[in-house]
Structure 1
Amino acid sequence: MGSDAVMGRDLRRAAFFDLDRTLIRGSANYPLAVAAFRRGHVPWWDLVKDTVNAISFHRKGSTDAQSAALRERILGAVAGTPQADIVHLTDEIVPRIVRRLIPESAALLAEAKAAAMDRIVVSASPIELVGRIASALGLEGAVATRSELDDDGRYTGRLMGEFCYHHGKVIEIEKLAAERGYDLASSAAYSDSISDLPMLERVGTPVAVNPDGELRRLALARGWRVVEVGRKRH
């Protein structure tokens, strides 16, 4: 006798959305870096580097090396800092970030809601930021990078779990799927970047949103849905 999953009953589905350049224009991390600098958490030179990277990201997206470097700078910068301080920073900047929601992406969120899919933001940015963005947008959850805390609620400078980037996104959405009972074969994923190929391949319905050149070519070759949002990439 088949289980409910086999019989097709009570399956839960999710729509996993990359954040930067998929849901919002630009990067969510840069406003956080600016806010952290103003509070003395980030040195001036690191802010300059993040400004240069933000401009490059706006034009071309992020490289693996840039993402790894940003991860290490964030972990190092917040080591010893109370989590409550970072939460306060994110509360300040989230309203500005959600105003950068791309209208066409808002339509994709509405489409997923109409299909009774839980909408989950998936990002390499800190969970303290991404979780609040998801809540502000009225979404059902967030998967993001988590930093380890000590017994006093201060960051240790180490990760707790995976860096939520590339294959790390797959590991984290699989954890969430196991917790919530999502059937990934019946779920969807949305991204603009070839770096999210593992996540796109893990679900039944991959969607390329304003994709970079490599992802566009692959999506067209595989017959995936391609959605243009905002301004075209250069």
Structure 2
Amino acid sequence: MSEYTLTAGTGNTSAAFFDLDRTLISGSSAFTLAIEARRAGLVPTRQFAKDATGAALFKLFGASDNTTDEVRKRILGAVEGMERDGLVALNAEVLPKLIDRVRPEAKRLVDRHRRAGRDCFIVSAAPQEIVEPLATALGMTGGIGTRSVVVDGVYTGELDGPFCYGTGKVDAMKELAEWNGYDLEQSYAYSDSASDLPMLEAVGHPVAVNPDAALERRARADGWPIVIFSQRTKSMLRRTLSGIAATGIGVAGFAAGRTIGRPPQRRFRR
């Protein structure tokens, strides 16, 4: 079994947690990983097609509690039987592509949180072997990804720690918060998907980024900030949305994107 370790913080009492796909980066990290794994001969063409279809359907229709098992099976099944060294070696090709897809507004936001004295983490269902190096490359404190059991250098397809999806993200965040002394009520979380509602509800400052319909409804109902980031590959600016505000953690706060329906009393605190 691989050793499960927690990333040490820097002594700060609050943190900022970022979902990866379609929040910190545009598009899907899983699809990028699958392409490179196929090119390296680590994934058969048939398995690649299956994984690509699953990722596409997930992107189109999102996820619910009923699909969590399927997502877990897809993530773990993608690495089952793969040599760990082979997956780690893919970072040479995968990381530059993911870094190129980091939204400029998101990177500025990470930098603002760091200057405000908050530790910053990626929280993603993607493999830890990808998430952690990406976080390091972006100057973040660490990455929380899905860890798989490794026996004799090969992934078994079994979990080694929380599955970082849905409520599993909260389990990992709480474990990290206890380890590093973070106050989650003073912390921030960012995501685009209603599947991350548990993650957003776990902190005192949830932020919806280019939200899907379900998350947008919840954010509007509860007065959560809604931030619209552009994408490098295609525009996701919602020109039809009204009430664009340049207050709070939006344009006036740190010029990281457009903010919609933001209550002025919950400002980005330095």
TM over 0.5: yes
Aligned counterpart, 1:7: none
The normalised TM-score by structure 1 is 0.87
Partners of 1:217 and 1:76 lie apart in 2 by 33
Asked if the contact 2:12/2:117 (under 8 Å) is kept, the reply is no
Please state how far the C-alpha of 1:120 moved relative to its aligned partner. 0.3
Alignment of 1:188 onto 2:188? yes
Per-residue deviation, residues 88-129 of structure 1 (Å, max 9, x unmatched): 012321011111011221222122122111110000000001
Separation (CA, whole Å) in 2 of partners of 1:55 and 1:176: 31
Decide whether aligned partners of structure 1 residues 61 and 126 sit closer, same or farther in structure 2, where only a CA change above 3 A counts.
farther
Please say which of residues 85-94 and 21-30 is displaced more in the overlay: 85-94
Amino acid at match of 1:156: T
Match of 1:173 in 2: 173
- The one-letter code sitting in structure 2 at the alignment partner of 1:176 is L
Say what the alpha-carbon RMSD is for the aligned residues: 2.1
- Cα deviation 1:144-180 (Å, max 9, x = unaligned): 1000112x33222211112110000000111111111
Match of 1:6 in 2: none
Find out whether 1:232 has 2:233 as its counterpart.
Answer: no
Summarize the Cα distance change of 1:51–1:156 in structure 2 as closer, same or farther, 3 Å threshold: closer
Matched with 1:141 is: 142
Query: Is the contact between residue 34 and residue 52 of structure 2 (CA under 8 Å) also seen in structure 1?
Result: no
2:202 is matched with 202
**1:10-61 Cα distance to aligned partner (Å, 9 max, x none):** 7611000000000100000111111222233322122123333444455x36
Paired amino acid for 2:77: G
C-alpha spacing 1:24/1:178, structure 2 compared with 1 (3 Å): same
Are 1:41 and 1:77, in contact at CA under 8 Å, matched by a contact in 2? no
TM-score by length of 2: 0.76
Residue identity opposite 1:178 in structure 2: E
SS in 2 for 1:107: helix
Separation of aligned partners in 2, 1:61 and 1:132: 29
Contiguous gaps of at least 5 residues in structure 2: 1-10, 239-270
Name 2:112's counterpart in structure 1: 111
Moved runs in structure 1, 4+ residues, more than 6 A?
none
| Whole-Å separation in 1 of the counterparts to 2:71 and 2:89 | 21
Deviates more, 1:88-97 or 1:201-210: 88-97
For residue 216 of structure 1, what is the aligned residue in structure 2? 216
What is the correspondence of 1:52-91 to structure 2 with a 5 Å cutoff? 52-57=53-58, 60=60, 62-64=62-64, 68-91=69-92
SS in 1 for 2:28: coil
Partners of 1:45 and 1:208 in 2: how far apart? 36
Q: Distance in 2 between matches of 1:77 and 1:189?
A: 27
Compared with structure 1, are the counterparts of its residues 209 and 73 closer, same or farther at alpha carbon in structure 2 (3 Å cutoff)? closer
Equivalent positions of 1:26-45 (< 5 A) are 26-45=27-46
Q: Larger % of helix: which?
A: 1
Structure 1 Cα separation of the partners of residues 37 and 70 of structure 2:
17
Q: CA deviation at 1:195?
A: 0.5
CA-CA distance at 1:198 after TM superposition: 0.5
In structure 1, distance between residues paired with 2:29 and 2:236:
19
The more displaced of 118-127 and 45-54 is 45-54
Cα distance in 1 for residues equivalent to 2:79 and 2:132 = 18
Letter in structure 2 aligned against 1:93: V
Q: Distance in 2 between matches of 1:180 and 1:169?
A: 16
Distance 1:128 1:135 in 2: 11
Structure 1 letter corresponding to 2:140: L
Task: Indicate if the aligned counterparts of 1:26 and 1:54 stay in contact, CA closer than 8 A.
Answer: no
